[in-house]
Amino acid sequence: MVSTDSLTTYVLEVILSHPALTCVFLLATLAAIHRYIRDSYKVDSFSQKHVFITGCDSGFGNLLARQLDQKGFHVIAACLTEKGAADLAAAASPRLKALPLNVTDSASIRRAVEFVSGEVGERGLWGLVNNAGRSVPIGPAEWMQSEDFTKVLDVNLIGVIDVTLQFLPLLKKAQGRVVNVASILGRLSLTGGGYCLSKWGVEAFSDSLRRDMRHFGIKVSIIEPGFFKTNVTSLDLIHADLKRLWNRLPQFVKDSYGPTYFDDYVKVQEFSMGVLCSADISKVTRCMEHALTARFPRSRYGAGWDAKFFWIPLSYMPSFVSDFVINMLLPSPKV
């Protein structure tokens, strides 16, 4: 059996024996070193910085709030429910403030802005993390009605836009950061419904915002998680909603898919959410933290092995390649 050291030596000899490969290898090595060094520079004075996070009842937002609180930030955590706010406040230091927020209600957002303004004063808001989101309804597009799209878009896209626009004056004071949670489904539409649409919209909104706000010293980063185990990917939630969508379809539409399609589609969701999902959501919150604390934050962060090594590379492939792969994953109607 060839040892690892021997294999490494052989590969290096092959590379170094070809000038072109040597040049590419050196450039790649220098780029990696440069990125590592650049990523290591941090901003200072965490204890004087305020960060506002939406969707902190559970999942990414909840963990990030506790993570930043431990590092000394003044965290203002927005929760949809009073219980979520109370539980988070009990698990954190007295520095952390938790408040209710419905991102689909402009009046609720205005109240949050007033509260945050009183907390930050003239220093302004260092960080805004748009994390609140919902997944369902998802499923084949034909199973949807217009309100099914609206339910998701209102939270995942319009809510992000409304929150961001209302907080921009405070962010400009601090020359702060905006961190928007998109998804690998903002690169590849794997399913119908409003989720993929909303995440593509978050990508586009964030790109335009980043270019507009750089003139004011505000940096904007996009987080693109793969599949992670959170309430958003709850199998019970997804299965129940798929059943609702299927049951209300006219019989002739059900017939066009065939008698086994619903069960086959549910099995795909169970595989995706049960097998591909990572339980280590800190892979996502570490990206969020870097976007808030790095002197030179990245424009995009891929989070999770599936995002980095499968979904994001697949998103750069020609459409016929990505279509082939996705069609292999999803069931076909029995027509």
Residues tagged active-site: 195
To the nearest 5 percent, what fractions of the chain are helix, strand and coil? 60, 10, 25
CB neighbour list of residue 59: distance below 8 Å, 6 or more residues apart? 131, 230, 231, 232, 281
Interatomic CA distance for residues 187 and 180, integer angstroms = 15
Sequence-ordered list of residues with C-beta below 8 angstroms from that of 63, at least 6 positions apart, any chain? 281, 282, 285
- The distance from CA 265 to its chain's CA centroid, rounded to whole angstroms, is 24
Rounded to whole angstroms, how far apart are CA atoms 279 and 134? 18
What DSSP string runs through 75-110? EEEEESSHHHHHHHHHHS-TT-EEEE--TT-HHHHH
The dihedrals phi and psi of 42, each to the nearest 5 degrees, come to -120, 155
Q: Containing H/E element for 224?
A: strand 219-225
Contact between residue 275 and residue 199 where contact means Cβ atoms under 8 Å apart: no
Place of tokens 């024996």: 17
Could you tell me the two tokens for 205?
């909104």
Asked if 115 contacts 121 with a C-beta cutoff of 8 angstroms, the reply is no
Distance CA 55, CA 129 (A): 9
Distance from C-alpha of 61 to C-alpha of 46, rounded to nearest angstrom: 18
